[in-house]
Amino acid sequence: MNHKVLIIGAGGREHAIARAFANSPRVERVFVAPGNPGMERDEVLDQAPIECVDLEVTAIAALVEFAETNNISVTFVGPEQPLELGIVDEFRQRNLAIVGPTKVGAQLENSKWFAKNIMGEAQVKTAQCQFFEFEQFEAALAYCHTIGLPFVMKVDGLMAGKGVIIPETMAEAEAALIEIMQTMQKNLLIEEFMVGVEFSHFSLVNEDHIISLGNACDYKRVGDNDQGLNTGGMGAFAPVPWVDDQLNQQIIDEIVRPVAKQMVANGTPFTGILYTGVILTSDGPKVVEFNTRLGDPETQILLPLLATDFYDVIEAHLSKTTIQIAYEQQSSLGIVLAAEGYPGPCQTNIALDNTDMLQANVLYAGVGGTKESLYSTGGRILMMTAQAATLTDARNKAYQLMNQLAIPQTFYRKDIGLNRDK
């Protein structure tokens, strides 16, 4: 039986998920709501067609109706907003297969305090922290002075990957507190600064059933050598050379499985993607944060390394059956092309007509127009990806391809694949 799949989202992550499904011989058609016109350029590739659907990610009732009407075999949620709104709960009430956490499960991402409590109950290692409601400005400021720099400030809620601040001065910390607590009226956590090297681990969790999807390293700062503002991500690579099978299993045994068991014990079983931000400290791996979805830009470079049919992987996840995941014995690297000004106000309507010659290596994010005539609509425009035998070779290949574009009013980091040694 050939299957139809629905992806919810519009960015590069969703393009990568759509392409992974489209490459499955078991899938005859992939819909993406709302998607972007760059995805439809994939018609030149040897895969199932990708078709965009004019439905926003928050139009939950319409998405349910679309899935029912079009006999969708499985829906995969990309971004966080529909998860927080309870899209998985709605789909399940109609007996529609969907990959993602329930509204309660999504709190592992959208409430840092909820996640800290779960980790405490599960005895999972993470940074020590203090929680402050937005009315407690003076107490939060006093706490900052008590513990002293460095420390980490995390907004308690969804912030599109931009809710983490590591102040370099106490004046900067106080300004952040004013912005977060008084202007935005958001609660926050202030936690210890952990020393170590960071990476991301991805797993599919269905209550007590876990499928590891591997590890990746990303680059959040806008500038080379990790300078400048935090962004949604400027590039990534996988696998992580110093994360061996033993460390990967340790993350599953000491972090993922205890959290999954605790969620079951609490009567709020977790399903879907658990993205674990890990820092490898002198005291072993600790959790930086959880997300309840695939990462962007990590997805774009992680999924091409899966040698196992992605539809088979998702089917095993949903049915809780055992599956052996095979990986291409390669490295994968991706570089984000961004508009001038990103992550602040940035240039838009940049013509992208010369990108189609590299379609197999390009994954589109902030683009509009038609598949014949694309233009930029957002900060992160596209990602150039490459796979090769070694990380160095993948890096060289990706930059050679990116250099062919030479699109004005754009920029990209020149150090993706570097500065992430253990």
Distance of CA 325 to the CA centre of its chain: 20
Position 158 scores a pLDDT of: 67
Q: Is residue 417 part of a domain?
A: no
CATH classification of the domain holding 378 = 3.90.600.10
Amino acid 161: pLDDT:
58
Instruction: Please give the DSSP secondary-structure letter assigned to residue 196.
Output: S
The reply to whether 182 and 200 lie within a common domain is no
In a shared domain, residues 342 and 402:
yes
Contact indicator for 68, 20 with CB cutoff of 8 Å? no
Alpha carbon distance 65, 71 (integer Å): 10
Q: Are residues 222 and 302 in the same domain?
A: yes
Distance of CA 160 to the CA centre of its chain: 10
Report the interhelical angle of 137-147 vs 170-177 (nearest 10°): 160
Determine the structural domain holding residue 362 and report its residue range: 332-411
pLDDT of residue 422: 66
The whole-number pLDDT of residue 334 equals 98
Q: 181 and 82 share a domain?
A: no
- What whole-number distance in Å separates Cα of residue 104 and Cα of residue 328? 35
Which residue, 277, 333, 255, is CA-closest to 300? 333
**Same-domain check for residues 152 and 254:** no
Does 206 share its domain with 303? yes
Question: Based on the structure, what is the number of domains in the chain?
Answer: 4
C-beta separation of 116 from 129 below 8 A:
yes
Same domain, 300 and 210: yes
pLDDT means per 10 residues, the chain with 422 residues, are 93 98 97 97 94 98 98 97 97 98 96 92 94 92 90 80 83 92 91 93 98 96 93 96 95 98 98 97 94 97 98 98 95 98 94 86 97 94 98 98 94 95 72
Query: Is residue 72, in this structure, part of any structural domain at all?
Result: yes
Q: Is 116 contained in some domain?
A: no
CATH of the domain at 297: 3.30.470.20
8 & 85 share domain: yes
Structural domain contains residue 224: yes
- What is the distance, to the nearest Å, from the Cα of residue 339 to the centroid of all Cα atoms in its chain? 20
